[in-house]
Structure 1
């Protein structure tokens, strides 16, 4: 199998668990995350060369049908001798689980149950059943049982304090889309500024990024992927979300409100025309939405909310309202009309990447250890894209602009003017600018970084 791109830490963790299982220490592993983040790729890569049963549950099937499909998978993947041991198959999930535990006593076995939340339709107490069987029957087995699921909230409920699998797995790992830096591995040769645009549209989803063609300009790639009928970026958002969210809860309306640019809780509720406390909290816990406060503000300060995933933010801000027109063949006209929305979204993604870059500068020792980095704003007064605080003082003051060239004297003057609103200036206060291109320089206390530096 080809070398894996990304997820090396997770793969190493799984391999160490497999070695423990081979020594007679049974391992229960839970991996979950929304669709397209690479769970299946990771697990199939991990399974290569191992004695494995890989089973993917189907939607809305009865326990009888799921168990029959699992029995067929066991027979096909482990061979005739194992099929003979099964006899006529399994009566229920308890019998199936006991069987795989029994046949792993002498020979190590990897069992992957993919999309586990789908099993709850036919067996609502599946997590409790698995927990009981595992506690009573797994001792002495050389098995690694991996549970995977795209329904993030359901998986986390199963693993939470009131869930049937609470504290049962030896490994619990949520896989989120790749970060701006880590996703670079999927397009290593793409010019830096083009990569920023690819990431802003595709997010950290491997399949999206792999469909981006380096030989094409960003506008041409967007036309292929987002502004043609059936384009992957046009359709994939609803597939990702529908696995996890019940639209009857108003999740789409809340995300659409955020995509339209509203950030405060009261305005989100007004735009969505519903109560949003539970909905917004669930979106936040599942990683779809993040709440941000000005750096240094008290935890009681009212946060701003935004869609955390660049691809989903792109879909709700740029594509959603015109998806029907694109599917009807008017994608070229729509792409021209939404240029302003695309540039605004692109600037926000670039700004977030700049803050991440500043954090990495601290980690690399290029900025003082102990410097915390974030955003800062005071409504209708001032806003700072990148603020670094050290010992309660302003150590770094940064501006981010998606444009060619470095900072101008006017930029420097405007940024210095914001110091009056911030915590006291540190004696070694530095200014920093991030732009699309224009060369990298450190001139006195003014730093200049480009997209090339950031990736």
Structure 2
């Protein structure tokens, strides 16, 4: 609908979530910055209004549910960090936060990810906003609405641009995992039925891609991979060396576990990767078969 190249279409998906009314306001061929500039110039643009209407029906502004969503939307991922952020003056008690998180997952507004490996780790959850559009809206637009209403959409756009590359680098990971899972199992990876990530309590290391035979606890890890989603830099030797260094921290890996990469700008020629994918491959994953 946007008539953009594959990388541009993925950007559009991260901003709009494919929400039809919003995508229809994206003129064919319009680049991301031009679309955002037009949207933040109009307080009644679909990009701004849809998020508020979606949340108001389910989660009034004064509710703890809304505070939890805003905490996760601002980048908090762990139970304790969400409790501290959503509680205001004091952290939300576990007895209050736990049922809220369960309810938000049941409504499919929040998603909870676990580290994927051969070793169970059910207490190391990381939370994220499940819907791409709502993730973008909570990260950038919710707090910008007063600015936009007084005619300062330029400031809202500056804030988005300042954080866009960092925010997108993490926001694109769930879409990449879901896209790769649509490509598999295939002839090259016949046993892969689950794709996730892995991290320890300190998030050091944190592995972007784990391909396994099942989740949440795998019998076998089939590949370990990294995502580099920058405009101008390919996946290079530095990223490859970091992946080699970190991979053995993942339970179930060995020195000969295949290494893979996903990159917006391709990969360097001399890297011994088993496979790599780019924007065109991710888009292809969503085509009817």
The TM-score, its normalising length taken from structure 2, stands at: 0.84
- Indicate yes or no: 2:36 matched with 1:213: no
Contact between 2:207 and 2:224, CA under 8 Å: does it hold in 1? yes
For structure 2, list consecutive stretches of 5 or more residues without a partner in the other structure. 284-289
Q: Which has the higher relative contact order, 1 or 2, with Cα contacts under 8 A spaced 6 or more apart?
A: 2
- Indicate yes or no: 2:227 matched with 1:415: no
Give, in angstroms, the shift of residue 426 of structure 1: 5.5
Residue 429 of structure 1 aligns with which residue?
257
What's the CA shift string for 1:53-91, capped at 9, x where partnerless?
Answer: xxxxxxxxxxxxxxxxxxxxxxxxxxxxxxxxxxxxxxx
Residue 321 of structure 1 aligns with which residue?
143
Residue 83 of structure 2 aligns with which residue?
269
State how far apart, in whole Å, the 2-side matches of 1:442 and 1:243 are: 53
Residue 172 of structure 2 aligns with which residue?
350
The one of 396, 409, 413 aligned to 2:223: 396
Does the residue aligned with 1:385 lie in a helix, a strand or coil?
strand
Residue 125 of structure 2 aligns with which residue?
303
Does the residue aligned with 2:169 lie in a helix, a strand or coil?
helix
Q: How does 1:213-252 map to 2 (within 5 A)?
A: 213-252=27-66
State how far apart, in whole Å, the 1-side matches of 2:103 and 2:69 are: 12
Give, in angstroms, the shift of residue 254 of structure 1: 0.8
What's the CA shift string for 1:400-424, capped at 9, x where partnerless?
Answer: 1111353211211110111220124
Q: How does 1:42-121 map to 2 (within 5 A)?
A: none
- Indicate yes or no: 2:166 matched with 1:338: no
Larger Rg: 1
Contact between 1:257 and 1:271, CA under 8 Å: does it hold in 2? yes
State how far apart, in whole Å, the 2-side matches of 1:440 and 1:415 are: 14
| Structure (1 or 2) with the greater strand fraction | 1
State how far apart, in whole Å, the 1-side matches of 2:192 and 2:200 are: 24
Residue 372 of structure 1 aligns with which residue?
194
State how far apart, in whole Å, the 2-side matches of 1:442 and 1:454 are: 23
Give, in angstroms, the shift of residue 268 of structure 1: 1.1
Q: Report how many aligned residue pairs link the two structures.
A: 269
Q: Which moved more, 1:256-265 or 1:343-352?
A: 343-352
State how far apart, in whole Å, the 2-side matches of 1:283 and 1:442 are: 45
Give, in angstroms, the shift of residue 371 of structure 1: 4.7
State how far apart, in whole Å, the 2-side matches of 1:227 and 1:197 are: 20
Residue 139 of structure 1 aligns with which residue?
none
State how far apart, in whole Å, the 1-side matches of 2:124 and 2:235 are: 32
Give, in angstroms, the shift of residue 246 of structure 1: 4.2
Seen in structure 2, the aligned counterparts of structure 1 residues 229 and 245 have a Cα distance that, compared at 3 Å, is: closer
Seen in structure 2, the aligned counterparts of structure 1 residues 384 and 299 have a Cα distance that, compared at 3 Å, is: closer
Residue 201 of structure 1 aligns with which residue?
15
Contact between 1:193 and 1:437, CA under 8 Å: does it hold in 2? no
What's the CA shift string for 1:208-243, capped at 9, x where partnerless?
Answer: 122212222110011122453222111211111222
The TM-score, its normalising length taken from structure 1, stands at: 0.55
Q: Which moved more, 1:333-342 or 1:242-251?
A: 242-251
Cα RMSD after superposing both structures: 2.4
Does the residue aligned with 2:248 lie in a helix, a strand or coil?
helix
Residue 113 of structure 1 aligns with which residue?
none
Contact between 2:147 and 2:155, CA under 8 Å: does it hold in 1? no
